[in-house]
Structure formats: C-alpha cells, structure tokens
Amino acid sequence: MKNAKAFEAKFKKAIKKKKTALEPVTEPRGWVSFLIHSILLSESTENQAVRARNALDREFVDFNELRVAPFNDIVNCLGVNYPLVRQKAAELTTSLAGVFSKAFAMNMDYAADMKKRELRVHLRDDLKLKPFAEAMVANLCFGVHAIPVSDGLTRAMQLKGLVDPEASVRETQAFLERIIAQKDSLGYIEALIAFEVDNAKAIQKIRREEEKQAEKLRKIEEAE
C-alpha cells in the first residue's frame, strides 16, 4: 500500500484496541456455528447477527438443512432488509457446501491439523468465505493471525483517511495484519467492528449515490 507508514500512524492514533469480550472458540463442535455467525456479523451489529442466527435456528432443523435450503428461503428467513442479505445467503450455502464436500458431515474437525497458510487458503478458496468471515474463523477458531475486513470497513477507513483511497478489501486486510500483532488482534477486531458500525450510515449514503450513478449510466447506455 502506498504511504503505508503514514497510514499506520494515522490508524494507531484513530483506532485504539478495546478490552475485548471476544473468546476463542476452542471446541470443534462450535466451529461451524461460529462460521455462520461470522458471515452474519459482517457489516451488521452483534444484536442483528444474533437475531438473524436465532431466526435461522427456528426455521432450519440443523446445519445440513440450512446447507441445502433454497436461496430465497434463507433470504426470507433473514429478512430482505438484513444488511447485504443476498450476499450473505449465498455465502452461507456456499461455505456450508464446502464444509460438507470436505468432511461429508457438518463439522470442521478436519481443519484442526491444517497448517496456517493452508487453512486460510481453504477458507478463502474452498469455502469461498469473504475476508471478514474468513479471518474471524481463522483467528478465533484456529488461532491464526488474521484481521476481519469487510467492504464497509474498508470504505469507512478510506472515508477517514486511514488507508489508501484505492485500497481493496484484501489490501486493507494485509495492511492491518502487518501493523496489528496477534496478541492484540482480538481487541482491535472489537474496535474495528465498532468503528464500522459508527460509520455505517455514511457508507450507506455513499453506496446509494453509487447505485444512482450506476442506474443513470445504465439508462444512458440503453438509450444509445
């Protein structure tokens, strides 16, 4: 990232790690459950994610039924107004299908013996997890140094001048993983989630403007 040192100084001045309540998920039986929670938590609040998870638990008997559920059923269960609901419904079914294809069951015990790099590649490429959920699972379930970053967090950091305006989600994630030590990561994860929530309305406004501009361009192209 260009001017990384300057952005590092700005970040450390603006974002302070919290005394975190996050706890590692050491019991393998909880790993798939935490994967689901992590997908739901991206660009949402903790309360929203918990309510959404409760709705899924009421609607679907177990993880396997959720895995094979029709896409629209998951969307309707979460609610059409849930943040990025269609993206999250797709991520849920794709990741659970990836787990099943690897284990032929709805558990992730097989991942316990993976090397750190191998695990992250598996979460990203095989389970198709986006950077936020991928890092949450890697860090809290398997102790791998990883910082969860969403598109919303990246935009919020750009808005406040904490990363390069052209930085991608993956570039922002790599930057944060370089400047945040593993021993401090849980406190910073809490702080970054709170920072994103604090800036959510501003990011929504920017996205609405982008959608309007995209719609204008589409209409111009159709007219031509």
Would you mind telling me the total number of residues written for the chain in this entry? 224
- On whether the CB atoms of residues 175 and 1 are closer than 8 A, the answer is yes
pLDDT in tens, 155-181: 999 999 999 999 999 999 999 999 999
C-alpha triplet 197, 198, 203: angle, nearest 5°: 75
pLDDT of residue 162: 97
Mean pLDDT in residue range 202-217: 89
pLDDT of residue 1: 77
Token pair recorded at residue 63: 């993880």
pLDDT in tens, 42-52: 999 999 999 99
pLDDT of residue 8: 96
pLDDT of residue 68: 97
Please tell me what DSSP assigns to residue 19.
-
Token pair recorded at residue 110: 């097989």
- On whether the CB atoms of residues 148 and 38 are closer than 8 A, the answer is yes
Q: What is the DSSP string of 128-153?
A: ---HHHHHHHHHHHH--------HHH
- Residue 71 one-letter amino acid: F
Token pair recorded at residue 172: 């922002």
Report the predicted TM-score, pTM, of the whole model to 2 decimal places: 0.92
Q: What are the helix and strand counts (H, E) for the chain? A: 12, 0
pLDDT in tens, 66-111: 999 999 999 999 999 999 999 999 999 999 999 999 999 999 999 9
